[in-house]
Amino acid sequence: MSRTALVTGGTRGIGKAISVHLKQAGYQVAANYGGNDEAAKAFTDETGIMAVKFDVADYAAVGEGLATITAELGPVDIVVNNAGVTRDAPFHRMTLEQWQQVIDIDLTSAFNVTRQVWDGMRERGFGRIVNISSINGQKGQFGQANYSAAKAGLIGFTKALAQEGAKKGITVNVVAPGYIDTEMVRAVPENVLEGIIATIPVGRLGKAEEIASMCAYLASEDAGFITGATMTVNGAQYIAG
């Protein structure tokens, strides 16, 4: 039976492209989502991929979601921790709630999911964890102290776990997208977004599929020697050392 993959936030935006790409690569895929039932239904109708609703910020809810997926598709071998939100504000106006929501949904979620698939991956001697960070976790971004902290946190999390998983056949990597043409980026005020696009040497926003293909590669058997890495996919907007 083919391996099973879970993509968090997998019914919309970059996550949707990742879910579809993994299905095309031959995996059984479950796409998690948090709240938008209508989009999830449309996603399943269009792709035939199972959508599973649970709050990635809630450890117990993640456990229940994973139990549903395991019962339907078997144990999860591949996780793409993609779910994320923004709550942008200059720091002098950022509230504790805006901080906490982003840390919980964008960073603690990766603990909640990964911790609950980790033991099974260790036992089976195979696992692939792909954490979706951001250019703004690498370079920082005005108005995103919360998001930059969470996305940088994912990079540290990855580097530590890569060392722990290595002997058990588990790879742990980061994909750090630049500005990709999704609802999240389109929500940036138009004049601000124009300024951002002007700083992308490739001269355009990225496509969700360009992130998905990197994730599928990292999930593959071929990528077994790549672990602890940060794969930057940003049109040269920021060239990390």
Q: Which residues are catalytic?
A: 147
Q: Are 21 and 215 in contact (CB under 8 A)?
A: yes
State the minimum distance, in angstroms, from the CB of residue 37 to ligand CAA. Answer: 24
From residue 221, alpha-carbon distances to 126, 166, 192, 226 in Å are 10, 14, 41, 10
Cβ proximity to ligand CAA: between 147 and 157 the closer is 147
From residue 82, alpha-carbon distances to 19, 95, 107, 194 in Å are 10, 24, 10, 25
Q: What is the binding site for ligand CAA (CB under 6 A)?
A: 86, 88-90, 134-136, 141-144, 147, 179, 184-185, 188-189, 192
Q: Rounded CA gap, 13 and 1, in Å?
A: 28
Tally: H helices and E strands in the chain: 10, 7
State the minimum distance, in angstroms, from the CB of residue 220 to ligand CAA. Answer: 24
Cβ proximity to ligand CAA: between 166 and 202 the closer is 202
Report the residue number whose CB is nearest to ligand CAA.
Answer: 143
Residue 2 DSSP label:
-
Cβ proximity to ligand CAA: between 4 and 232 the closer is 232
Q: Rounded CA gap, 229 and 159, in Å?
A: 7
State the minimum distance, in angstroms, from the CB of residue 28 to ligand CAA. Answer: 28
From residue 72, alpha-carbon distances to 34, 35, 66, 105 in Å are 19, 21, 10, 25
State the minimum distance, in angstroms, from the CB of residue 176 to ligand CAA. Answer: 8
β-bridge mates for residue 232, sequence order:
176
Cβ proximity to ligand CAA: between 41 and 91 the closer is 91
State the minimum distance, in angstroms, from the CB of residue 190 to ligand CAA. Answer: 11
Nearest to 112 by CA among 72, 50, 172, 65: 65
Nearest to 196 by CA among 183, 210, 186: 186
